[in-house]
Amino acid sequence: MDYLTEFFQNIGDTLSYMASLSVGMLDGVKYTVGLFFITILFSIPLGLCLTLLRNSKITALRGVTGFYVWIMRGTPLLLQLFFFYFGLPNLPFVGDYLILGRFQAACLTFVLNYAAYFCEIFRGGILSVDAGQYEAAQVLGFGKWQTNLKIVFPQMLKVCLPSISNECITLVKDTALITAISVTEILYFAKAAVNRDTNATAYVVAAVFYLVMTYGLTKLFNWLERRFHF
Partner 1 sequence: MHMIEVTNLKKSFGSDVILEGVSFSVEKGQTVSVIGPSGAGKSTMLRCLIDLESANDGTILIEGQPLLQNGTYPHERQRRAICAKMGMVFQNFNLFPHLSVKRNLMIAPLNSKTLSPQQASEKADALLKKVGLDGKQNAMPSELSGGQKQRVAIARALMMNPDVLLFDEPTSALDPQLTGEVLAVIKELAQEHMTMIVVTHEMGFAREVSDKILFMGDKRILEEGTPDEIFHHPHDPRITEFVSKIL
Binding site for partner 1 (CB under 8 A): 130, 132-133, 135-136, 138-142, 146, 150-151, 154-155, 158, 230
List Cα–Cα distances, 50 to 24, 26, 33, 116, 213, in angstroms: 39, 35, 25, 8, 28
Q: For the chain, how far is it from start to end, CA to CA, in angstroms? A: 63
Residue 94 and residue 98: Cα distance in Å, rounded? 7
Task: Give 2 or 130: the residue with its C-beta nearer to partner 1.
Answer: 130
* Residue 4 CB-half CA count within 13 A: 1
Nearer to partner 1, 124 or 154 (CB): 154
Closer by beta carbon to partner 1, 123 or else 158: 158
Cα separation, 101 vs 182, whole angstroms:
11
Q: Which is nearer to partner 1, 137 or 187 (CB)?
A: 137
Compute the least distance from the CB of residue 148 to partner 1, in Å: 12
Residues 162-190: b if buried by 16+ CB within 10 A, e if exposed: ebbbebbbebbebbbbbbebebbbbbbbb
Q: State in angstroms the smallest separation of the CB of 151 from partner 1.
A: 6
Q: Shortest distance, CB of residue 46 to partner 1, whole angstroms?
A: 24
Nearest approach, Cβ of 222 to partner 1 (angstroms)? Answer: 19
State the minimum distance, in angstroms, from the CB of residue 161 to partner 1: 13
Closer to partner 1 by Cβ: residue 14 or 146: 146
